[in-house]
Amino acid sequence: MHGMRGNRAKNVSHHSLQLHHNLLRLGAAALVPQMLEEQGISKEAAFGRTVFSRRSLVQPEPVVPVAWLGRVFKAASVAAAQPEFGLSVGLRAGSRLSDWGHGPTPSDTHVSAALMRIISRPAIFPNAFLSLGISGDTCIIGCVALPRNVIARDQLTDCAMGFAAGALRALCGPRWRARCFRLAHGPPPDPSRHAVLLQAPISFNADVNEMEFDSAWLDRDYTSPAGRVRGHSYEQGPDRDLVGEVSEALASWNAVEKPSAPAIASALGLQPRTLNRLLGKTGTSFNRLLEAARYETAQRMLRDPAAPILSIAWSLGYADASAFSRAFRRWSGMTPTEWRETTKSRAP
């Protein structure tokens, strides 16, 4: 790792939850009202006249008690009927580091530098919960064990782990993958939602909260998973398969938000206009590749008979099963249920 070669077994950053009166800056929790409103849930409906209604939460700077954060996430997850709500908040916050002052700085030439700076901020949620350790080719980001009396501690832990995963996706690009996640809490009623969001094997009821990934990712230039400097002209690499790179990025995209052309372009080190122009030269477009990636992912997920149609729809960015069914019929001429039955009957 940049600046750490020759000492691959070490604890890079760790801080226990030793806070002044258990106070933290709001941080990622500032996204809660917005994510509820996107689902048609007002903060008044979710929280009544308490909690968010008494504080200014436009920016992540207000200082709040950890217990207050627990009440917020508990109320929000109940209002949204989503046990994975905390995880979704963390993933979105991590994927938008620059929006709230956590993005890489000019001095962060490698992922390792940016990641350590993010995790070493002990007075903001959820950074204060995280630790980073390296041993050989393995990197582990852990989350401190919150006291049992903390309200919604599973939601807070999930938010922290999601934040770390989202940050790594933002720093390394959409090809980044964790090897696995270990979560101390029990499985939610529908574990597939966690699996879709984290895109890696998950062990529930573990002894610790942590994720494991290949430490080689830390050696990369944070601006591009392929080592390209942001803004480097794609035309300088004529042998690259742009359609293949876009398709791969779409297939591995985080399910919290629908992948957009600007987001994919950024991950590939391009300007959105340049991406669209170069795709046009190949005879295709971003929207065509997005539809193709959705169809391929839908088929793969439908082959799992235990995966609910609604969960698949949600993971692909559709608001409900009906919208997904209409799109799938357009792709295949069949509804998802019909396609699943037809595939099952053809299986040997």
Task: Report the candidate in 171, 179, 203, 209 with the shortest Cα–Cα distance to residue 86.
Answer: 209
User: 250 Cβ partners below 8 Å, 6+ apart?
Assistant: 259, 264, 289, 290, 293
pLDDT in tens, 82-122: 999 999 999 888 887 766 666 666 566 678 888 888 887 76
- pLDDT, residue 253, reads 66
Domain assignment present for residue 60? The answer is yes
Whether 276 and 333 map to the same domain: the answer is: no
Question: Based on the domain organization, do 255 and 184 belong to the same domain?
Answer: no
Residue 342: which CATH number? 1.10.10.60
261 and 204 in a common domain:
no
Q: Are residues 267 and 335 in the same domain?
A: no
CA 32/CA 77 separation, integer angstroms: 10
Q: What is the pLDDT of residue 233?
A: 42
Q: What is the mean pLDDT of residues 57-85?
A: 82
For residues 276 and 340, membership in a common domain is answered with: no
More confident site: 134 or 95? 134
Residue 242 has pLDDT above 70, yes or no: yes
In this structure, the answer to whether residues 15 and 124 fall within a common structural domain is: yes
pLDDT beyond 60 at 244: yes
Residue where a domain stops, chosen among 268, 284, 300: 284
Task: Kindly state whether residues 300 and 198 are assigned to the same domain.
Answer: no
d(CA 67, CA 23): 9
What is the reported pLDDT for 226? 43
Is 253 part of any domain?
yes
Based on the domain organization, do 139 and 58 belong to the same domain?
Answer: yes
Judge contact between 144 and 37, C-beta under 8 A.
no
Same domain, 280 and 330: no
298 and 256 within one domain: no
The pLDDT score that the predictor gives to residue 210 is: 96
Cis check for the bond before 126: say yes or no (omega within 30 of 0).
Answer: yes
Reduced to 3 states, what is the DSSP secondary structure of residue 60? coil
Residue 63, strand partner residues: 25
Helices (H), 260-320: 261-267, 272-281, 286-302, 309-315
Domain that holds residue 338: 289-346
CB 289 within 8 Å of CB 246: yes
Q: 136-195: per-residue pLDDT in tens?
A: 999 999 998 888 888 999 999 999 999 999 888 888 876 788 999 999 999 998 888 888
Task: Output the average pLDDT for the chain.
Answer: 79
Give the span between the Cα atoms of 151 and 69, in whole angstroms: 8
The more confidently predicted of residues 298 and 307 is 298
- Residue 333 CB coordination number (10 Å): 9
Q: Is the pLDDT of residue 212 over 60?
A: yes
Whether 78 shows a pLDDT value over 50: the answer reads yes
Q: Which residue has the higher pLDDT, 342 or 119?
A: 342
Do residues 53 and 194 both lie within one domain? yes
What CATH number corresponds to the domain at position 160? 3.90.1520
